[in-house]
Amino acid sequence: MFDVIEPALFAMLTIAIVAAGAGVVLANRITTSALLMAFTFLSVAGMFLLLGAETVAMFQVLIYVGAITVLILYGVMFTPQSPRLYGLFFQTQKWWAALFVIPIAAFVAAAAFAFRDSATIGAKGGDLMPLATSVFRDYAFPFEVASVLLLAAMVGAIVLVKRDED
Amino acid sequence: MPVGPFGIDPAIWAPLRLIIAVLLVVGLVFNGALAQIYLERKIQAIIQDRLGPLHVGPWGLLQTFADAIKLLGKEDIRARLTDKWFFLAAPSIVFSPMIASYVVIPFAPGIVGADLNVGLLYLTTLGSMTVLGIVIAGWASNNKYSLIGGLRSAGQLISYEVPQILSLVTVVVVVGTLSMVGIAESQPGWQMNFLVLPLAFVTYFIAGLAETNRAPFDLPEAESELVAGFLTEYSGMRWAIFFLAEYGEITVVSSIVTTLWFGAWHGPFVEVFPVLGVLWFTLKTYFFVLVFMWIRATLPRLRIDQLMSLCWKVLIPLTLTNLMVTAILVLAFPTTLVPVAIANWLLLGVFVFALPYFQRRRLVALRERLRTAA
């Protein structure tokens, strides 16, 4: 019975991700885009669950749906709303966009269909320990460098904003 | 043919179990909310020297049922200039993560929806999703009070998520598992985590109050300044769903407190009758629900700047220190938890006694400066 459910879930999630992703770009109102983006993130989390990576799925929802989307909505609400006065970048330059997107899409599709070995994603259940050891032991130094970089970016953003007030 | 529990085929039992569990949880949330609203009104009445609900049913017990029926019968009103789909979707975006939280709550040995090995992470994740619904509710209402309520909620919940998660991580460092059942099993008998990690409990409880938008952190719906905050434009059952979600969240936070710090289902005679665990778990959980209500009746609401400075200047440094000290001590003394407990009780003492002392000194200095300026 579960042989049917997993491909069905996969199909539903795939359609949801692609459709909501297209909606993010095509929607006229930026709030709709933000909400559809949250939906895309949720569907991607579902994809991680199907792959047996529960921890990654949880962090996906915790950080992207719970924090990033709310932050974007927060920003949107403080921005003046004027739909259609400014076209979004992709909506006014369709042909240029297509020119750049089609080669990339072809490359991604080719790469995606090159993966045929489904046995490599069989590690179900308990991705917490491997994730923790790889982040905090094997790759501890790059991880710390990245966090210092983020801290520097944050301090820089605060300094940039504060300078206007003086 | 394989035979599962109660002599039913496992292929049928799995979906059947799911349906039973969902029905039980929905019943638990709805009845729990009715009971909690009654409790809330009675407790506030007792604290304020009033009688509270009295006339509908014995001791006013049926008052909340009457209120629920009234809410169900009300017209579903939507103002014309609201953002239709967002406005309609917001209550369910707030409600569904709360319902989903009950999957991992361990009511008794063997009575748990699913023993996820990332259970605690799952609960924090779902807790963070309610913000989205509240922000959308505030935005879609097309009302300045609602919008301010929604924005306050976003700022408050994102800020208080940090000390909340840090407090939970402190427990995880000591216990060594994220599974709710594993955490419950790690505290047999009287060996509750509260005895080892009291500070983490206090900081988590404060953050939990903020997370559920309860007094003294109920700024998103502050009646005296924002009408009803993000709830202003909602009426009837949509309004009621927000409140069901709020009371459900209170139960979830109380259950987390019970599981992490107070030994979950453990109590007398549980080894003999495992079902008795449900009783102990419910009693412990409702004790914390009562504390929620007690706090609401006693403490005044914080100002938004006080709220933020409490979080960023007090709770986050404190929980970070607590986490660091606990992690070092757990690594240094792998066999005993006594040093961790001593450090935690000391830090709790610092929090409870030193903080008001420094606060008062700052106030005195401020008054002095004002007097010399005048």
Residues A93-109: tens digit of each pLDDT = 778 878 888 999 899 88
How much is the pLDDT for A135?
82
Within 8 A of A54 by CB-CB distance, chain B residues are 116-118, 122
The top-scoring range by mean pLDDT among A19-23, A119-123, B3-7, B337-341 is A19-23
Burial label for A78, CB within 10 Å (0-12, 13-18, 19+), is exposed
| Model confidence band, residue A146 (pLDDT cutoffs 50, 70, 90) | very high
> Given this model, what pLDDT does residue B339 score?
81
- For residue B53, what is the DSSP state? S
The answer to whether B207 and B160 are in contact (CB under 8 A) is yes
Q: Please answer yes or no on whether B132 and A59 come within 8 Å at the CB atom.
A: no
Q: What is the pLDDT of residue B89?
A: 84
From chain B, the residues in CB contact with A77 under 8 A are: 135, 139, 147, 150-151
Question: Which pair of tokens denotes residue A73?
Answer: 């909505």
Nearest CB neighbour to B125, from listed A66, A74, A125: A66
Cβ-Cβ contacts under 8 Å for B307 (sequence gap 6 or more): B156, B210, B217, B219
Nearest CA in chain A to B154: A70
Per-residue pLDDT, B92:
87
Q: Tell if the CB–CB gap between B129 and A65 is shorter than 8 Å.
A: yes
When the pLDDT of each residue in chain B is averaged and rounded to a whole number, the result is 83
Closest residue in B to A65 (Cα) is B129
Cα gap A11→B219, rounded to integer Å: 43
pLDDT, tens digit, 9 for 90 and up, residues A10-35? 888 889 999 988 888 777 777 788 88
Asked whether the beta carbons of residue B139 and residue A31 sit closer than 8 angstroms, the reply is yes
> Could A58 and B121 be called an inter-chain contact, meaning their C-beta atoms sit closer than 8 Å?
yes
B25: nearest Cα among B112, B134, B116 = B112
Q: Is the pLDDT of residue A122 over 60?
A: no
Contacts across the A-B interface (CB distance below 8 Å)? 65
pLDDT at B105: 84
**Residue B114 φ/ψ, nearest 5 degrees:** -150, 135
Interface with chain A: mutation pick from B9, B12, B83, B135, highest number of A CBs within 10 Å: B135
Q: B155 contacts in A (CB within 8 Å)?
A: 74
Q: What is the DSSP string of B318-365?
A: HHHHHHHHHHHHHHH-SS--HHHHHHHHHHHHIIIIIHHHHHHHHHHH
Residues of A whose CB is below 8 A from B136: 35, 73
Q: Extract the tokens encoding B192.
A: 């509750």
Q: Decide: pTM greater than 0.80.
A: yes
Residue B128 forms contact with A (CB below 8 Å)? yes
B48-90 tens-digit pLDDT: 888 888 888 788 788 888 888 888 888 888 778 777 788 888 8
Cα-Cα-Cα-Cα dihedral of A59, A62, A68, A70, to 10°?
170
* Range name among A55-64, A149-158, B202-211 with the lowest pLDDT average: A55-64
**pLDDT bucket at B1, cuts 50 / 70 / 90:** very low
What value does the mean pLDDT take over residues B264-268? 78
The average pLDDT across A47-59 equals: 82
CA-to-CA distance for A86 and A76, rounded, in angstroms? 15
Q: Across the interface, do A65 and B154 touch by the CB < 8 Å criterion?
A: no
Interval B96-114 mean pLDDT: 81
Mean pLDDT (whole number) for B206-224: 80
The span from the CA of B302 to the CA of B309, in Å, is 11
Average pLDDT of the residues in B172-189: 82
Q: What is the mean predicted confidence (pLDDT) over B250-278? A: 82
Residue of B nearest to A124 (CA): B117
Q: Give residue A26's pLDDT.
A: 79
What is the spatial distance between Cα B165 and Cα B163, in angstroms, rounded to a whole number? 6
- The mean per-residue pLDDT over the stretch A33-50 comes to 86
Q: How many residues does chain A have?
A: 166
Are residues B139 and A73, on separate chains, in Cβ contact within 8 Å? Answer: yes
**Which residues in chain A are contacts of B94 at CB distance < 8 A?**
none
Contact list, A126 vs chain B (CB under 8 Å): 117
Residue A127 pLDDT > 80:
no
b/e burial code for range A141-161 (CB count within 10 A of at least 16 → b): eeeeeeeeeeeeeeeeeeeee
Q: Which helix (H) or strand (E) holds B256?
A: helix B236-261
Of the candidates B11, B116, B154, which has its C-beta nearest A70's C-beta?
Answer: B154
Amino acid at A68: I
- The C-alpha atoms of residue B89 and residue B117 are separated, in whole angstroms, by 31
In the predicted structure, residue B295 carries a pLDDT above the cut 50: yes
Q: Do A74 and B151 touch (CB under 8 A)?
A: yes
What's the token pair of residue B339?
């040093």
Q: Is the pLDDT of residue B47 over 50?
A: yes
Do residues B171 and B260 make contact, with C-beta atoms less than 8 angstroms apart?
yes
pLDDT, chain A, mean: 79
d(CA A103, CA A94): 15
- Tokens describing residue B210: 């903020």
Whether this model's ipTM surpasses 0.90 comes out as no
- Would you state the pLDDT for residue A155? 92
A interface residues, B as partner, C-beta within 8 Å:
1, 31, 35, 38, 54-55, 58-59, 61-62, 65-67, 69-71, 73-74, 77, 125-126, 128
Q: What is the spatial distance between Cα B212 and Cα B344, in angstroms, rounded to a whole number? A: 26
Number of C-alpha atoms within 13 angstroms, CB side, residue A75?
A: 7
Give the pLDDT mean for A138-154: 91
Using the predicted structure, report yes or no on whether residue B147 has a pLDDT greater than 50: yes
pLDDT for B148 equals 83
Distance (Å) from the alpha carbon of B149 to chain A's nearest alpha carbon: 12
Question: Residue A145 — very low, low, confident or very high, per pLDDT cuts 50/70/90?
Answer: very high
